[in-house]
């Protein structure tokens, strides 16, 4: 699970991030003789790098690469390199050749991306492997220059790629494989405009590019403005863990859903069936799932049988379970936000995998609104004996 720390303001985030990088650099040099990192752009990151210049850092063993860069002239204020050099070269005993610039001024950008790949590999070995990658998060959920709806999001065979035009510039960027291969990832997220994207990132919501960055070796520093009203301590104590159950009618679907959920970092408890048993009974699996959801041992449940109807009837007999058989996005989103359902029931023989997967993602990305009218209605339902 990602480590998260919230600080009062962007200045404090920058200072704490600088201290974190300095500590990682000292440890890497002591263990491996060098420290190789890649940095992103942004106002807070430039503050971070300026603060890093004042830290105890083994500068002579540092190698600094770029996560991404705009296609713009040398020295342009639009270039991340301009600010990177201003933040470090004038304030730290770092040589110019220790900052490895993306070659964005070359005519053939695809060839330039290959050259940058080879340059990184000449330092790190092949495939490229960073000790630390620093990432930011845009209000639209992009990170590096992995931009919503851009074809670069699908690049898995290259470590450096070229994007389409985004905010008036094409860009060169490290891709998911390169970023996810790094030893450590440091997120720096500040500003109230990031609140929604920040929530999506924590919940691994696939609607933003940042959610496809691995979280098991990541640290996130954010300010209170980016945090908004999110209860970070609750998230730390109880990450979204999922329970799933199915009889023979949805066994193959259950296997596929478990694999996809685990790939996204969810904690998944399988309540059975443990194998394909043609004559098994759905209550043997759905009841233990519903009991775990009702008792709070798992936060959300997914119950599957051939049609989904039997699983729904069964789950709703258990105290604390609020199950619904749903086959459209509107109902699954409203079911969570308004009716606080905690078990999504599905028909293993009535829907295809991709449609089902879309419904599951919407279910897990939705949250109860706690609106007074919905609480009032749910209290009336709970009062039924």
User: Looking at 235, 269, 303, which one is the last position of a domain?
Assistant: 235
Q: Is the dihedral of CA 138, 140, 143, 148 positive or negative?
A: negative
Nearest to 194 by CA among 151, 218, 230, 248: 230
* Alpha-carbon distances, residue 342 vs 242, 269, 280, 298 (angstroms): 10, 15, 24, 10
SS (H, E, C) the chain: CCEEEEECCHHHHHHHHHHHHHHHHHHHHHHHCCEEEEECCCHHHHHHHHHHCCCCCCHHHEEEEECEEECCCCCCCCCHHHHHHHHHCCCCCCCHHHEECCCCCCCCHHHHHHHHHHHHHHHHCCCCCCCEEEECCCCCCCECCECCCCHHHHCCCCCEEECCCECCECEEEECHHHHHCCCEEEEEECCHHHHHHHHHHHCCCCCCHHHHCCCCCEEEEEEHHHHCCCCHHHHHHCCCEEEEEECHHHHHHHHHHHHHHHHCCCEEEECCCCCCCCCCCCHHHHHHHHHHHHHCCCCEEEEEECCCHHHHHHHCCCCCCCEEECCCHHHHHHHHHCCCCCEEEEECCCCCHHHHHHHHHHHHHCCCCCCHHHHHHHHHHHCCC
Q: Are residues 277 and 225 in the same domain?
A: no
Q: Are residues 224 and 245 in the same domain?
A: no
Q: Are residues 361 and 219 in the same domain?
A: no
Q: Are residues 228 and 328 in the same domain?
A: no
- Helices 353-365 and 251-263 sit at what angle, rounded to 10 degrees? 50
Beta bridge pairs of residue 218: 185
Q: Are residues 45 and 90 in the same domain?
A: yes
CB 132 within 8 A of CB 49: no
Q: Are residues 140 and 257 in the same domain?
A: no
Q: Are residues 143 and 12 in the same domain?
A: yes
Beta sheet of 300-305, edge-to-edge order: 267-270, 241-246, 300-305, 343-347, 323-325
Structurally, how many domains does the chain consist of?
2
Q: Are residues 377 and 303 in the same domain?
A: yes
Q: Are residues 201 and 66 in the same domain?
A: yes
- What is the pLDDT at residue 235? 67
- What is the pLDDT at residue 112? 97
Q: Print the domain residue range for 208.
A: 3-235
Q: What is the pLDDT of residues 276-301, one digit of tens each?
A: 999 999 999 999 999 999 988 888 99
User: Looking at 200, 235, 270, which one is the last position of a domain?
Assistant: 235
- What is the pLDDT at residue 160? 98
d(CA 208, CA 226): 16
Retrieve residue 184's tokens: 């450590």
Q: Are residues 185 and 108 in the same domain?
A: yes
Q: Are residues 245 and 222 in the same domain?
A: no
Q: Is the dihedral of CA 69, 73, 74, 76 positive or negative?
A: negative
At 252, which CATH number?
A: 3.40.1400.10
User: Looking at 171, 206, 235, which one is the last position of a domain?
Assistant: 235
CB 271 within 8 A of CB 258: no
pLDDT in tens, the chain (385 residues): 789 999 999 999 999 999 999 999 999 999 999 999 999 999 999 999 999 999 999 999 999 999 999 999 999 999 999 999 999 998 999 999 999 999 999 999 999 999 999 999 999 999 999 999 999 999 999 999 999 999 999 998 999 999 999 999 999 999 999 999 999 999 999 999 998 889 888 877 667 899 889 888 999 999 999 998 777 776 666 566 899 999 999 999 999 999 888 776 677 889 999 899 999 999 999 999 999 999 888 889 999 999 999 999 999 999 999 999 999 999 999 999 999 999 999 999 999 999 999 999 899 888 888 788 988 898 898 888 6
Retrieve residue 101's tokens: 């610039």
* Cβ contacts of 354 within 8 Å, gap of 6 or more: none
Q: Are residues 199 and 249 in the same domain?
A: no
At 207, which CATH number?
A: 3.40.50.1360
d(CA 300, CA 341): 9
For the question of whether the overall pTM of this predicted structure is more than 0.85, the answer is: no
CB 254 within 8 A of CB 244: yes
d(CA 107, CA 320): 63
- What is the pLDDT at residue 211? 86
* Alpha-carbon distances, residue 214 vs 135, 211, 262 (angstroms): 12, 8, 12
User: 136-145 burial, b if ≥16 CB within 10 A, otherwise e?
Assistant: bbbebbbbbb
166 Rama class: left (phi>0) / alpha (psi -120 to 50) / beta: beta
């Amino acid at each position: 699970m990602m480590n998260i720390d919230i600080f009062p303001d962007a200045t404090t985030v920058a200072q704490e991030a600088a201290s974190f990088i300095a500590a990682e650099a000292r440890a890497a040099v002591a263990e491996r003789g060098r420290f190789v990192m890649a940095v992103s752009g942004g106002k807070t990151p430039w503050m971070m790098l300026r603060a890093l210049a004042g830290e105890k850092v083994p500068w002579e063993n540092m190698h600094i690469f770029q996560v991404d860069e705009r296609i713009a002239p040398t020295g342009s204020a639009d270039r991340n390199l301009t600010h990177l050099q201003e933040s470090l070269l004038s304030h730290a005993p770092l040589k110019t050749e220790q900052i490895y610039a993306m070659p964005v001024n070359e005519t053939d950008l695809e060839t330039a991306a290959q050259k940058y790949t080879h340059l990184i590999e000449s330092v790190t070995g092949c495939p490229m492997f960073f000790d630390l990658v620093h990432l930011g998060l845009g209000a639209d959920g992009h990170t590096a220059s992995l931009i919503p709806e851009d074809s670069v999001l699908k690049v898995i065979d290259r470590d450096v790629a070229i994007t389409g035009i985004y905010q008036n510039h094409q860009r060169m960027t490290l891709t998911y494989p390169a970023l996810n291969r790094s030893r450590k990832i440091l997120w720096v997220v500040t500003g109230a405009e990031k609140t929604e994207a920040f929530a999506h990132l924590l919940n691994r919501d696939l609607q933003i590019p940042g959610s496809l960055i691995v979280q098991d070796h990541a640290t996130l520093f954010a300010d209170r403005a980016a945090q908004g009203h999110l209860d970070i301590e609750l998230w730390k104590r109880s990450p979204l863990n999922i329970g799933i159950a199915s009889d023979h009618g949805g066994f193959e679907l259950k296997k596929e859903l478990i694999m996809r959920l685990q790939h996204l970092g969810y904690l998944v408890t399988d309540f059975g069936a443990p194998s394909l048993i043609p004559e098994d009974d759905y209550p043997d699996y759905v009841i233990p799932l519903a009991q775990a959801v009702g008792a709070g041992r798992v936060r959300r449940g997914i119950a599957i049988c051939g049609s989904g109807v039997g699983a729904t009837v069964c789950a709703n007999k258990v105290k604390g379970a609020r199950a619904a058989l749903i086959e459209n996005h509107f109902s699954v989103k409203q079911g969570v936000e308004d009716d606080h359902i905690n078990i999504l029931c599905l028909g293993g023989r009535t829907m295809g995998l991709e449609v089902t997967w879309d419904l599951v993602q919407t279910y897990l990305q939705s949250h109860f609104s706690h609106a007074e009218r919905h609480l009032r209605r749910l209290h009336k339902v709970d009062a039924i004996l």
